[in-house]
Homo-oligomer: A and B are copies of this chain.
Amino acid sequence: MTSTADAPRSPGRPRSIRADEAIIEATLDLLAEGSTIEALSIEAIATRAGVGKATIYRRWAGKDALLLDALRRLKGVLAQPAGHSVRDDLVLLVGAIGKNVDPRAAKIMPCLAPAVNRSADQFQLYQNIISPRRQLMREVLRRGIDEGVLRADIDVEVTMALLTGPMLIQRVLQWNPDLDEQALPERVVDAVLEGIRAR
């Protein structure tokens, strides 16, 4: 955002907060309605927000800067594991993957996949968003090891990929349309816990 933290009381009419909101909301709405990131035009955003183009350019340097701000709004709150059962905590965390407070996020997220690998900035943004969630899961796994519920020799990072991957490809890519997304978190956690080898 352009705004500096300090506000030495500048003269003139202050910027409209409603315009800020409207621009961000319009951006997210358009994305959620199916527009691709690059098909999204400042003109369309301005029209949708009921705002002049200049009002947008006055706040952001360009589409990228605006998008960055808009996408930040999508970060849902972190799920809070209860801390009783390791299994239940994992089910909660796995179920929270790709599930955001803002329903628009579900439509928007898949669009970010290509962007993430093209610019280092966007890759960093992505990592910043997911790393706290990853940390949460890491802690639960470590707790499981400490409590003796999980084997001590597991690779925690691989295990996180194991738990996250299935849910992510299903939610983002619709990898297998026949899978029951509702029941998946539990299924995944239990399968990973027990293993599939016959005993």
Contact = CB atoms under 8 A, between A and B. Distances in A.
Interface string A142-175: 0000001111101101111110111111101111
Contacts of A160: 176
A134 to B, nearest CB: 7
Contacts of A194: 195, 197
A161 B116 CA distance: 23
A175 B127 CA distance: 8
A62 interface: no
Interface stretch (A17-25, A32-40, A44-52): A32-40
A159 B114 contact: no
Query: Mostly helix, strand, loop or mixed at chain A's interface?
Result: helix
A196 B193 contact: yes
A198 B151 contact: yes
A149 B198 contact: yes
Interface in A102-152: 107, 110-111, 113-114, 116-118, 123, 127, 130, 134, 148-152
User: How many copies make up the complex?
Assistant: 2
A114 B116 contact: no
Contacts of A152: 198
A107 B170 CA distance: 21
Interface residues of A, number: 56
A161 B195 CA distance: 14
B161 A179 contact: yes
A73 interface: no
Contacts of A172: 113
A101 interface: no
Contacts of A6: none
Interface string A75-104: 000000000000000000000000000000
Given A157-B178, A161-B184, 12 more contacts: A36-B114, A113-B172, A114-B114, A151-B196, A152-B198, A157-B179, A158-B188, A159-B191, A160-B176, A168-B169, A168-B173, A169-B169
